[in-house]
């Protein structure tokens, strides 16, 4: 039996001006769930927005308070970032990626959203004729919205059918056209939680070097492939990265998920030293500067967007990175709770007729973590999103992420202990109301 009537959901959609529930954005689904909860007092199973669901890292909080007490709030922060954060960033990257990068190339940004926005601009302006971005989907819808703002074009493909060696021919067929400036993906992946394996990253790196394309690697869920124990600094296994296979890379490393520090909007955009120093005449002509990639990105682009990052939060991030590198903080163990939630949530769904959509990497089953994907019979993603709403479960359709598969994305971050029994009861009702042949 449905929890919310079709009439009530339709009424909410009208009042919130949601044109089509089947293709609703994360923000629209979030508003709809909040509306229905407020209207009825019935709690939703919130699987829509990927907001952290763990306590904020208290070491960061204390470091930020101390910085404010020292008076750092009275001065503008340098656009390139404070030395403390830049130096801790290079140590952290060495400790958990085993990659060497200079402090100069580690640039704080107001979340990875600002980092990707500025990087898209620099990448698509650096070489005449190279003005498109290639998305290895499924991915983060906001990044395509950023390209709409700057007027850049993009190409995309769903990696579902191009895992392993098949990825090379697919990339070659697109990059050989010569108009791709950058490739972007997340690893682990939002929304599918697939993880690109070393052989696939080697292919991406090889193709990026061959066609002079910059790889933008979004590491929002850094080291959260919990199938491997990557939480020990300076010890293998290290987190996989394309940085081992090309010099054309930008790594985006956010504090939001690994330290649950989302409210302070802090990330690092880490540019390879080789790329940071490259000179591009087109950048020099457009921005009336030296045309050096890293300096243009910092001074002529990122500074125009945010005028630097909050000084006190930079000290907080620096301290959390320092303590992680020293082994005082094990952020991987801290975030493993998401995997435990995913395992329990997946079982409830699969016990009631659902299936995991993105279920395998190349050599092993997809792990448990922050996100997972589910489908039901032959329902489209939009149909499933809408039907789940009637049973008090909010999600987003995979179609909004560039996926060609049918299903929805489920986020584990807002799941609470007292809601597992509620979820099980509702999914049993869903299964009974939607018998499968």
User: Are 314 and 356 found together in one domain?
Assistant: no
CATH of the domain at 90: 3.40.640.10
Domain assignment present for 49:
yes
Give the Cα separation of 118 and 56 in Å (integer).
27
Q: Find tokens 């030293």 and name the residue.
A: 273
Domain CATH code at residue 399: 3.90.1150.100
Residues 6 or more apart in contact with residue 392 via CB below 8 angstroms:
3, 4, 36, 42, 43, 44, 45, 422, 426
Residue 246 CA from chain centroid, whole number: 21
Using alpha carbons, select from 296, 321, 271, 252 the residue that is nearest to residue 110: 252
Asked if 140 contacts 218 with a C-beta cutoff of 8 angstroms, the reply is yes
Asked if the structure places residue 221 within a domain, the reply is yes
Please, is 288 exposed, middle or buried when counting C-beta atoms within 10 Å of its C-beta (0-12, 13-18, 19+)?
exposed
Structural domain for 420, as ranges: 6-54+334-433
Residue 252 φ then ψ, to 5°: -110, 120
Residues 25 and 168 in one domain: no
DSSP summary character for residue 152: -
Strand 354-356 with 371-376, pairing: antiparallel
Q: Inform me whether the pLDDT recorded for 437 exceeds 80.
A: no
Phi-psi region of 308 (alpha: psi -120 to 50; beta: other; left: phi over 0): left
Tokens, residue 92: 């952290």
Q: What is the CA radius of gyration of the chain?
A: 22
Tracing tokens 């950058």 back to the chain, one arrives at 182
CA-nearest of 320, 347, 276, 283 to 61 is 320
Q: Which of 297, 326, 355 is the C-terminal boundary of a domain?
A: 326
Helix (H), strand (E) counts: the chain: 18, 13
396 burial level (CB within 10 Å; 0-12, 13-18, 19+): buried
Per-residue pLDDT band at 232 (split at 50, 70, 90): very high
- Per residue in 360-380, pLDDT (tens digit) is 999 999 999 999 999 999 999
pLDDT given for residue 412 in this prediction: 97
Is there a single domain that holds both residue 297 and residue 338?
A: no
312 plus 429 within the same structural domain: no
- Does one domain contain both 188 and 279? yes
Measure the CA–CA gap between 213 and 67, rounded to whole angstroms: 39
Query: Is the domain of 218 the same as that of 158?
Result: yes
Dump pLDDT digits (tens) for 416-436. 999 999 999 999 999 999 998
The pLDDT value recorded for residue 81 is 97
Cβ count near 169 (within 10 Å): 11
Which of these three, 326, 347, 380, is where a domain ends? 326
Mean pLDDT for the chain overall: 96
Q: Does residue 1 fall inside a structural domain?
A: no
Residue position matching structure tokens 């990087």: 119
Kindly compute the dihedral angle of the four CA atoms of residues 63, 66, 68, 69, in this order, to the nearest 10 degrees.
Answer: 180
Q: Are residues 95 and 238 in the same domain?
A: yes
- According to DSSP, the residues that pair with 270 across neighbouring strands are 106, 251
Last residue of a domain, one of 326, 342, 362: 326
The pLDDT value recorded for residue 178 is 98
| Dist CA 395 CA 244 (whole Å) | 35
Alpha-carbon span 388 to 108, nearest angstrom = 39
Closest CA to 271 of 310, 301, 233: 301
| Residue 199: CA count within 13 A, CB half-sphere | 10
State residue 24's pLDDT score.
85
Do 240 and 364 belong to one domain?
no
Judge if 429 and 321 occupy the same domain: no
Q: Token match 């493993």: residue?
A: 336
The span from the CA of 93 to the CA of 96, in Å, is 5
Distance CA 331, CA 229 (A): 11
Torsion-angle region of 98 (φ positive above 0: left; ψ -120 to 50: alpha; else: beta): left
Is 63 inside any structural domain?
Answer: yes
What is the per-residue pLDDT across 201-229, written as a single tens digit (0 to 9) for each?
Answer: 999 999 999 999 999 999 999 999 999 99
Q: How does pLDDT run across 147-178, given as a tens digit for each residue?
A: 999 999 999 999 999 999 999 999 999 999 99
Residue 436, pLDDT score: 83
**Does residue 101 fall inside a structural domain?**
yes
106 belongs to a structural domain: yes
- How many domains is the chain partitioned into structurally? 2
d(CA 397, CA 402): 10
Residue 22 predicted with pLDDT over 90: no
Q: Do 369 and 220 belong to one domain?
A: no
Q: Are 47 and 371 in contact (CB under 8 A)?
A: no
What local confidence, expressed as pLDDT, does residue 102 receive?
Answer: 98
Residues 120, 243 share a domain = yes
pLDDT reading at 145 higher than 90: yes
User: Does 144 share its domain with 254?
Assistant: yes
């Amino acid at each position: 039996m449905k929890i919310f009537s079709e009439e009530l959901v339709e009424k909410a959609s009208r009042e919130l001006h949601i044109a089509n529930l089947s293709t609703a954005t994360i923000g629209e689904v979030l508003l709809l769930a909040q509306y229905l909860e407020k209207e009825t007092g019935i709690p939703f199973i919130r699987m829509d927005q990927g907001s952290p669901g763990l306590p904020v890292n208290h070491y960061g909080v204390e470091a930020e308070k101390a910085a404010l007490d020292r008076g750092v709030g009275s001065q503008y922060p340098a656009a390139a970032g404070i030395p403390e954060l830049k130096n801790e960033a290079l140590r952290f990257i060495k400790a958990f990626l085993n990659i060497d990068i200079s402090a100069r190339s580690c640039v704080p940004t107001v979340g990875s959203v600002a980092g990707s926005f500025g990087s898209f601009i620099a990448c698509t302006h650096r070489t005449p004729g190279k003005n498109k971005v290639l998305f290895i989907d499924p991915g983060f819808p906001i990044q395509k919205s950023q390209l709409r703002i700057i007027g850049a074009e993009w190409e995309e493909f769903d990696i579902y059918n191009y895992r392993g060696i098949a990825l090379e021919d697919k990339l070659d067929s697109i990059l050989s056209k010569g108009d791709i400036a950058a490739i972007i993906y997340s690893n682990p992946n939002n929304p599918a939680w697939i993880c690109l394996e070393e052989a696939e990253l080697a292919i991406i790196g090889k193709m990026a070097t061959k066609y002079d394309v910059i790889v933008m690697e979004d590491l929002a869920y850094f080291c959260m492939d919990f199938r491997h124990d990557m939480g020990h600094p300076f010890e293998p296994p290290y987190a996989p990265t394309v940085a081992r296979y090309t010099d054309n890379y930008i790594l985006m490393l956010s504090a939001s998920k690994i330290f649950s520090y989302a409210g302070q909007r802090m990330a690092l955009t880490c540019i390879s030293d080789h790329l940071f120093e490259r000179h591009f005449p087109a950048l020099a002509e457009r921005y009336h500067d030296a045309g050096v990639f890293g300096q243009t990105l910092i001074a002529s682009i990122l500074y125009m967007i945010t005028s630097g990052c909050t000084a006190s939060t930079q000290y907080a991030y620096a301290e959390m990175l320092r303590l992680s590198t020293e082994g005082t903080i094990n952020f991987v163990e801290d975030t493993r709770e998401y995997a435990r939630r995913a395992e329990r949530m997946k079982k409830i769904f699969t016990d009631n007729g659902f299936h995991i959509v993105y279920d395998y990497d190349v050599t092993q089953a997809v792990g448990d973590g922050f996100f997972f994907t589910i489908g039901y019979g032959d329902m489209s993603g939009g149909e499933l999103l809408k039907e789940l709403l009637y049973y008090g479960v909010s999600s987003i359709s995979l179609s909004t992420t560039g996926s060609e598969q049918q299903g929805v994305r489920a986020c584990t971050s807002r799941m609470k202990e007292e809601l597992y029994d509620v979820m099980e009861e509702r999914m049993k009702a869903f299964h009974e109301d939607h018998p499968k042949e």
